[in-house]
Chains A and B, each alone.
Chain A
Amino acid sequence: MTAVAAPTLSKEQLLDAYRVMRTIREFEERLHREFATGEIPGFVHLYAGEEAIAAGIIGQLNHDDYVASTHRGHGHAIAKGCDVVGMMAEIYGKKTGICHGKGGSMHIADLDQGMLGANGIVGGGPPLVCGVGLTAKVKGTQQVGVSFTGDGGSNQGTFLEALNLASAWHLPCIFVVENNGYAEATSSAFHQAGVDVAKRADGFGMPGVVVDGFDFFAVHEVAGEAIARARSGGGPTLIECKVGRYYGHFEGDQQTYRAPNEVEDLRRQRDCLDAFARRVTGAGLLEQADLDAIDASVAELIDRSVVEAKAAPDPTPDDVLTDVYVSY
């Protein structure tokens, strides 16, 4: 897990990557504060700390590629291009939300953006992207499907079955494990047999890679190889990103299972945005002023998203009956 050499990304790509990471961070930090006020209904699982993975992988996908996400899905949705204002309204349960208030945080989706949904079922996504891979193969397109699971999801049968199916059918799929060290409150040191999930790839005849999930450039590099392999007919790849989350399993989780300074240390020593900023400014690829400008515009966007979400109309009770079927 060594840092990769000087990145070959263009200035525009670097700015985009930083904007995605900053947008996710601001979105999640703001949700953390707003959730505490009691105004947000339901369950919210925050992605803060893991932004380099979404930006490093999804940032390289095309518009017509697909992503299947997890219950911790806001970051993947933002990286795939879902409308941030619509997402915030969705989390507030409003009619203007991207799912019209029918989905909420755990089912944020926008198929027009290739976002197959956050998923309330742990391990729900990997079989779905096998289907995306099949679509690409049957139609002869260059599309790829990328599923995300946590270390917890990597123990589900669906995950292991999907690895086997994708490899047996030679599908253009990428399986990403965001190993943040915890399946809810249970440590991966306890629940995960074997040190690296990535090693399970060997058993399914596909490459498995471990990467530092805090390091955007490292993630970007391994994802680039996996995407190229998938698009060129080389089959699936398993990528395990070792990472950590800044908040609990869900908002409201007191995290008493974690070490007293664990999150503080992560924020101080492993923050993906800080590391990115140091790299790009140190190498003279971007100016601090470029980053400051993004920070300001993202802060404005997130602020606006919350103001609009709070002001947006609720669904009407009659809406409970719509969109069950295309026709019935």
Chain B
Amino acid sequence: MTMRTITFQQAINEALAQEMGRDETVVLFGEDVVGGSGAPGEDDAWGGVLGITKGLYGQYPSRVLDTPISESAFIGAAAGAAASGLRPVVELMFVDFMGVCLDQIFNQAGKFRYMFGGKAVTPMVVRTMFGAGIRAASQHSQALYPVFTHFPGLKVVVPSTPYDAKGLLTQAIRDDDPVIFLEHKVLYTLEGDVPEEPYAIPFGEAEIVREGDDVTVVALGRMVHLAAQAAASLDGVEVELIDPRTTSPLDLETIVESVENTGRLVVVDEANPRCGLAADIIAQVTAEAFDSLKAAPRMVTPPHTPVPFSPVLEDAYVPSPDKIAEAIRATTGSPAPA
């Protein structure tokens, strides 16, 4: 493997390019994924609203398509294309837009296989950007992966590093089930070591980001990095930080094993607190490892409000390293620093 340092965004672009080169049934479409179709200026002017798909149209002009702003139609088209022989990777620009196309995702694509008695294969990927932190306000900032995780039939991926982004997206494209691939918008510029060659990371395998014996901290997406900062800031508390990487399937086994060792659990989740991932993971771990728990599990989430706009408000909304550290100290019974 030839390692070099690239960004999260470049890792995604590279996975798309490599899989489109490997398999000519892989097609890519969404709003402005070419960016400029039919317009008098440059072809491929945007390459996605943030440039994530830039250059792919030049390499594969017949398989990268701009769409009307019409998510129901084009995400439904992805389901129909997947059921009839393509491997579409479709871009839902912001996950917040799921409200206008959710039927196509959960009632159609996600249920074909079950409703049709195991005959349907629907290999589609919905790539979508999520998360707070760039002052994008209530309708462009949510962390809605628990909603998708709720639906059987869907697989849900939330990468936190460039390495994982490439390997998990490669797996998503090769996977025969519908996959929702959620990219935290704050992570796009994050750099990391990524092999040049294609590789796939299996779903349902958590990454142990750091090892420790005092408390298990589970975090996803951008929260992995904030939790790592919190863990590094704590003296005398050895944190085991686990990134599940996929919420469906969820590697509960790794989390439970860790909690059986540490006896303490903190889950950091950027999603809304009610019916979110933190609540789900805590419920499952408690059922599996109740006797190992030395303290009540804690969750660190935003408040149960929409994502606010003003920088002061948004910074107060998102779980911070300080809040995470506070929850870790509380569960270990460590005093707050003077």
Binding site for B on A (CB under 8 A): 66, 68, 97-103, 107, 109-112, 116-117, 119-121, 124, 126-136, 138-139, 143, 145, 157-158, 161-162, 164-165, 168-169, 322-328
Contact = CB atoms under 8 A, between A and B. Distances in A.
Contacts of B83: 111, 116, 128, 131-132
A261 B95 CA distance: 51
B116 A109 contact: yes
Report which residue of A110, A126, A128, A129 has the largest number of chain B beta carbons within 10 angstroms of its beta carbon. Answer: A128
A323 B114 contact: yes
B62 A138 contact: yes
Given A99-B117, A164-B70, A324-B152, A128 B86 contact: no
B284 interface: no
B73 A162 contact: yes
A74 B119 CA distance: 18
Contacts of A130: 73-74, 76-77, 80
Interface of B: 25, 27, 62-63, 65, 67-68, 70, 72-86, 88, 103-104, 107-108, 112-121, 152-153, 155, 175-177, 204, 249
B77 A131 contact: yes
A33 B67 CA distance: 47
Contacts of B84: 66, 116, 131-132, 135-136, 143, 145
Nearest to B62: A138
B293 to A, nearest CB: 28
Nearest to A156: B72
Contacts of B77: 127-128, 130-131, 133-134, 162, 165
B113 A326 contact: yes
A324 B81 CA distance: 19
Nearest to B112: A117
Nearest to B116: A109
A127 B119 contact: no
Report which residue of B27, B119, B249 has the largest number of chain A beta carbons within 10 angstroms of its beta carbon. Answer: B119
Contacts of B78: 131
A100 B73 contact: no
Contacts of B120: 109, 111
A323 B118 contact: yes
B153 A161 contact: no
B76 A325 contact: no
Given A131-B79, A324-B153, A121 B103 contact: yes
A126 B84 CA distance: 14
Given A117-B116, A135-B81, 13 more contacts: A111-B83, A116-B80, A127-B75, A130-B73, A134-B81, A135-B84, A136-B84, A138-B63, A157-B72, A158-B76, A161-B70, A165-B68, A328-B204
Nearest to B80: A131
A90 to B, nearest CB: 8
A129 B116 CA distance: 17
B80 A68 contact: yes
B73 A165 contact: yes
Given A164-B68, A165-B68, A128 B117 contact: no
A63 to B, nearest CB: 13
